[in-house]
Structure 1
């Protein structure tokens, strides 16, 4: 028997360090060739690290959340044959042969801000008896699974995982919940005393998001501007278009109209459609409108980019927004789809609240936030009427954008949305 050492691969792009996000194996596990043993993260992507050999895990080179250098020892595997470890070399720096290794499989997870796709193993026909883990043993599970278990009041250590190395998957939770629902038990009371706690390391995508948000607030001189918009006529137009062409062209949401309004307003205010390199002290102004549309994934906030939005009609913009949102949700978004935006549009839909203060997506200098639509009594031509109102809550980088320019830009968008016919005048 010999020992095969897998080193942290060179993922490219001049990256010297990566973060170890998650192990899918533990010491003593048997692994097969091409089995994914770990996830690591760069500034732009999560990368699956497969094993080029089959054997038994002898040692793991780090803990989740640890930053490791490219070329450092990631994992040791006991294999049939000689392996690639020279026993005469020091334990901490074995010179390694360079065997052909399975190429790391890149899965994009971070953009100018996807969720890691989970491929659940088939659930067993019957739920195995719960296996109680040690009190200090933390079951393997993704952040989304942990949150779902927390919300449902489930202790993960009692859930049998069907994934690699006993990893708890969404299907395992569903089976656990279904079995518990079918079995007679005393329903939990909303007043039961709870003393459970769970510590959740801020690692992987969540760490990257936190770092980006902190960096944006530290570097950019944020200021916000809020304006209300009467979208009664816009909503009437949208309803008419959906009634006439919804079946053949697809239903329109509010987002394509907002993208169009942004494109038209940027023609008059090109100083908003820029990227600011504060280290080089250089502003790059773009003729093209590459609009980032913030989308929520199971792992965090992502910003896929609608490229050349100035060339898209309403339905083309709607199709592209839907395609990108699906790519984010399923973890299939590419690096190109998640980078290169020049201005960002963010919306929480029906949860949009009344006012928000979105964070500028550096190196952009503007982000337009959309709040929910509400019906309110308004005075129109001396009469009190019910109108559909919506706020635009936007933030700007005051280092580059003057307050007057920001206000006029949002007022331009307001005028276009309140008189929707002007969106299409050339």
Structure 2
């Protein structure tokens, strides 16, 4: 329970998620923290590649956390946990995937796909009870019992997504991770799937972690919204609070990009472009701070002070600006400012892969490997340079050991 008496179902605490090791490591999520309350819809929004799905997969224990922890009902479910707890997590936390075609087994009938969880956890009394549960769920998602004998390729995209939703909901989970469940669907089908999600929430008190990048849809379905940018959660607030007071510049830019259903207004809309270089975090490091009104923002002390002042005024901000007909808009400098790591990545030559074959060949031919390393270094092929150098050093080390053994053996023979 939090201080307001609400039951916290899921807690994500200071979570880092890293892929790869050593120099090739990529930190996809950095120090992410948020709570999800029982019975609510918490939406996670951001651009492609920002880490939304990565967090969702960490919740269902597909992606391991390199730091921090994830708690379900106050119990840690990240890292190594007992088998019984792992089964409880699988039983109570389900996922609806983004691609309805790729997430369904093409060789299985719809009956088996929907029933698989029931089989694994034996959530039925007898065969008649299993059939009844499956048929009821298929009816609830808007399909027919005769569809149960068909295969996924015989359905449209919207129908496949309904099958995926039925597969998750037949388990009667407490938390559903919905990973962009409507992004691959037509606009008319999107409304149907969203209404289905809301229906299940009303009837079964299901909690959703809804992952999306379309803020207009997120506003319709969410109780609270978290905004994520390049692995950092930059703002969390209630849905209406976030739309009325988008304090972080990135949130401002996302809201300004929402299409207006009026061609004339949309034509005259001024888009706000987020520029990360406006933040100076060299000395004053940023923190994720509660500024009041259950509104959390990521920023340094100076920025937080400005955000608090804006919020305390109580005047809703206007992230969308419409220019008057004929009015000239001041041209913004849209130069993209890259971090040092991103700049180095873009400067990397196309064939600078650092393939393991460079290490292998340099290991067996260390002299050639050292020469190749020097050439690559001069040409600024740093990954290939490091691979050749590493392989050659290992090769020289092995040659040195063999030579040492030979000298010792020769001395023993002479003596």
Task: Give the TM-score band, short-chain normalised.
Answer: under 0.3
Higher helix share: 2
Larger radius of gyration: 2
RCO greater where, 1 or 2, for CA within 8 Å and sep 6 or more? 1
TM-score (norm 1): 0.21
